[in-house]
Amino acid sequence: MKVSPTHLKPGNFVHQTTAESERAQPSSSWAVVFTPVKWLSCGLITLALGLILWQLYAMANQASLPSVLVPILWIVKLAVLAHGIEGLAAVVVAYRQGDNAIAAGIYTFFTGTIGLYETLQGMTRTLKIRPNIDDME
């Protein structure tokens, strides 16, 4: 029998067992550290992509960037390369786990090592739904 949205009630969500949740999610002390680091990483990698695009725009228009940015751009390019490699690794891992590989790769590209750690731990972003058999007709 098919489950319709009317059969889904707040109490029908199946949560992970204690052992699964401890394995899949970082402890609360790590979550306090992971969240700001992920936000910072997203902001910095976006800024890095902006700097690279600025350099490409300047090269296309025969302009030059300030000389102060030249050593910073080497660091930026290295960081984007490292995040790209982590993103590709996350794509492979997520594909083998049966998760959405593209989403995991993009998420890991922006969050960095923490995103790869979460992908390796098998964290899924979906809830499993169990129908309430008593409500079915």
Question: For 22-56, how does the pLDDT look when each residue is reduced to its tens digit (9 = 90+)?
Answer: 445 555 677 777 888 999 999 999 999 999 999 99
Q: Domain boundaries in the chain?
A: 26-120
Q: Which two tokens stand for residue 93?
A: 């891992």
| pTM for the predicted model, two decimal places | 0.66
Taking the CA atoms of 30, 44, 126 and 97 in sequence, report the sign of the dihedral they define. Answer: negative
pLDDT at 109: 96
Instruction: Give the C-alpha separation, 15 to 130, whole Å.
Output: 10
Burial code (b: 16+ CB inside 10 Å, e: under 16) for 79-98 equals ebeebeebbebbbebbeeee
Mean pLDDT of 4-21: 46
72-119 pLDDT, tens per residue?
Answer: 999 999 999 999 999 999 999 999 888 889 999 999 999 999 998 888
Identify the pLDDT of residue 33: 79
The rounded distance, in Å, linking the Cα atoms of 25 and 125 is 11
Q: How far apart are CA 31 and CA 123, in angstroms?
A: 13
Query: Is pLDDT of 15 > 70?
Result: no
Residue 23 is predicted with a pLDDT of 47
pLDDT of 122 reads 75
Secondary element (H or E) of residue 128: strand 128-129
